[in-house]
Amino acid sequence: MPEPLTVTFPPAFLWGAATSAYQIEGAVREDGRTPSIWDTFSHTPGKTADGDHGDIAVDHYHRYRDDVAMMADLGLTAYRFSVSWSRVQPTGRGPAVQVGLDFYRKLVDELLAKGIKPAVTLYHWDLPQELEDAGGWPERETAHRFAEYAGIVGEALGDRVEQWITLNEPWCSAFLGYGSGVHAPGRTDPTATLRAAHHLNLAHGLATSALRSVLPARHQLAISLNSSVVRPLSQDPADLVAVRKIDDLANGVFHGPILHGAYPESLFEATASVTDWSYVRDGDLTAVHQPLDALGLNYYTPALVSAGTREAGGPRADGHGGGAHSPWPGADDVAFHQTPGERTEMGWTIDPTGLHELIMRYSREAPGLPLYITENGAAYDDKPDPDGTVHDPERIAYLHGHLSAVRRAISDGADVRGYYLWSLMDNFEWAYGYGKRFGAVYVDYATLARAPKSSARWYGEAARTGALPPVGATAA
């Protein structure tokens, strides 16, 4: 059904952008900050494109006031950022470094002064290296350390920040960090992958309880999941079994205990050759299954799977890098296929119907729970024109399509209350280094000068009016 020319959103809808600490802050050795696993990983030869790292990134630590002013100029009403655990609690335990907390206090104050609603993500993949040296997320103790850290940040910012997200994409932390090894800390152990997933769930539950003990009741606690839209290559029963297996590993492993208080039995069956799940102790699922005030959904592209194995030496078309090790424990009998259609620079197929499908699924999974799109965006090979302007019509078309899918879901009864564009500005894109530009704002990495792209102006116009401008329109 064709979209109307003007797609309007509810008046209270939040128009935001998102970033993460290691990708933008820099200042990795300042004010008491110690290395995180991403500092270590990115400085290990061969782990990132061109040996890129986040030592300086885009220097947001020193330029945050200008960055917030830029957000206000663009018309954003919300900003989602993450806190660097290593900046606040350098060893991952013990008292906080107040100068580290002061950076986030000043950032929040600056946002509020500009009328921008802050949303804090406590963990976006940057575990203090000292905790990884002690075993990392596969160890139960890490979950308890995270809860302590959450309480520290909650006490420091809780008087000013109402929106809180415990973990960003715990799937990536567990399955890419400990399974395929393409993310920090770069381990490749299928059993450790599932242990890490459970302890991340436990960390979320314990942190939620810790935050509730220090935050006002009106505050909103959530988690951001990069839940996959998994589709079968055919309706063959074997392909449907493959869908269920990947859906359990991508989605059920987190939303099962978090939303429903139990892991899927089919997950246990599929991974029996990998682990006996004996690390799930009595009381864990009760601790994980805490009431939430909202759920964050991150979406980029759907997955297409079938029964079978990939061709020897061929790429694994799951969109998660080309590592030699699979991030899918117990799923060697599942093949991933490239979905058809136009793709971004990441090789990800552009398919807004997947975002609508995802929203409607979680409207059913968690009826009554408000939803936020906490990440959605696209990487393109953006280059400035001779006059310095950066035109990115592909990103505008991408945003129009996906925001239209959000509005369609709202019309279909979904309670979606905001959208956070990934990302505010070009930055360190993890193992891809600085070669993939997701930003609505262009960053010249030689000078660190910022320049809003056409998409930033287009998105700002949508934020100001609550309606999507035509794809060909760019606000002056």
Calculate the CA dihedral of residues 301, 428, 418, 105 and round it to 10 degrees.
160
Residue 108 has phi, psi (to 5 degrees) of -65, -45
Bridge pairing between strands 230-232 and 303-307: parallel
d(C-alpha 209, C-alpha 190), whole Å: 29
d(C-alpha 97, C-alpha 86), whole Å: 9
169 in catalytic set? yes
CA 292 to chain centre: 18
Catalytic, out of 110, 375, 429, 461: 375
Strand partners, 418: 14, 372
Catalytic, out of 132, 169, 429, 461: 169
- The DSSP line for 208-233 is HHHHHHHS-TTSEEEEEE----EEES
Instruction: Please answer whether residues 274 and 191 qualify as being in contact, where contact means their C-beta atoms are separated by less than 8 angstroms.
Output: yes
CA 202 to chain centre: 18
Instruction: Please answer whether residues 405 and 390 qualify as being in contact, where contact means their C-beta atoms are separated by less than 8 angstroms.
Output: no
Instruction: Please answer whether residues 228 and 292 qualify as being in contact, where contact means their C-beta atoms are separated by less than 8 angstroms.
Output: no
Instruction: Please answer whether residues 227 and 204 qualify as being in contact, where contact means their C-beta atoms are separated by less than 8 angstroms.
Output: no
Instruction: Please answer whether residues 354 and 445 qualify as being in contact, where contact means their C-beta atoms are separated by less than 8 angstroms.
Output: no
d(C-alpha 399, C-alpha 402), whole Å: 5
Q: Closest Cα to residue 361, out of 270, 286, 259?
A: 259
Q: Closest Cα to residue 320, out of 195, 226, 454?
A: 226
| CA distances (Å), origin 158, targets 32, 154, 416 | 23, 5, 24
357 in catalytic set? no
The residues annotated with a catalytic role in the active site are 169, 375
